[in-house]
Amino acid sequence: MKKSIIACAVQQPCNRGRETNLAYSISQIEAAARQNADLVVLPELHLDHYFCQSEDTACFDLAQPIPGPTCETLADVAKANKVVIVSTIFEKRAPGLYHNTAVVFDKDGSIAGTFRKMHIPDDPGFYEKFYFTPGDLGFTPIETSIGKLGVLICWDQWYPEAARLMALAGAELLIYPTAIGWNPEDDAAEKQRQCDAWITVQRAHAVANGIPVISCNRIGFEAAPDQAPGIQFWGNSFIAGPQGEILSSADESHDVLLFAELDSQRSEDVRRIWPFLRDRRIDEYADLKRRFID
């Protein structure tokens, strides 16, 4: 990674329609660039409402190829503003074959790389297995002009294996575009437990791997198309340093740009005092490849 970069996470609503959502994301990228951002991360599937609340084949019409129209637009924005952009797009790879895909645009407008979401949830209100084929690009960092980015997507953030494999492959920071929220019918205590767990597990990835984490979530209520209660996306985007320390954070409801300066020397220093990669017992971890140990 460059010795020091300014990272920005865009916390925004995504329930205003594709044209408005994209225009707003672009305006936020431009605002971040004016504040000297090198890297701008957008929420998961920021182009559209969260269509995975139901299973509807008509929603496949929202998908687009990569490269495609949105890629062309964001490539121009990255080049014009000289920033690296992380976006996620509903990818149409072939008829009947779709992915939830992160696209990283470098400062010159080129596509530096892509990552297809690996872990696909299937829960009430989050019927992603209906829409997304699990990723097949592996846990490979994306090389950019500012460093190697370990991009993962939402549900991937709960898995320490994913974060570790990115770190072992040389990722210099972990990035999680996210669309996660509450069932409005849950009580306040349950909502707090869920959000706390989400923050804690990602901060733990920073600690365990000695690298920063950027977690970028959407906000706002999005109604379900049927009688389901809908989702209140809980925001709480944050940027954490290599000891899990919170460098910048947002609340549950406001549009905001989060900024943090990330210093590669800090990660180096942390890994020297906490050499977790050195002390891993790789000779004893074979059972991690098993589903369950009976």
Instruction: Quick: pLDDT tens for 44-99.
Output: 999 999 999 999 999 999 999 999 999 999 999 999 999 999 999 999 999 999 99
CA 263, 245, 141, 289 torsion: positive or negative? positive
Model pTM greater than 0.85?
Answer: yes
Cβ neighbours of residue 87 under 8 Å, at least 6 residues apart?
25, 42, 46, 70, 74, 102, 103, 105, 177
Instruction: Quick: pLDDT tens for 214-254.
Output: 999 999 999 999 888 999 999 999 999 999 999 999 999 99
Amino acid letter for position 150: G
Give dist(CA 86, CA 100) in Å, integer. 13
Q: Which of 177, 175, 168, 115 is nearest to 150 (CA)?
A: 175
User: Looking at the chain, how many residues does it have?
Assistant: 294
Query: In the chain, what are the domains?
Result: 4-278 (3.60.110.10)
Catalytic residue set: 44, 117, 154
Q: Is 131 in a helix, a strand, or coil?
A: coil
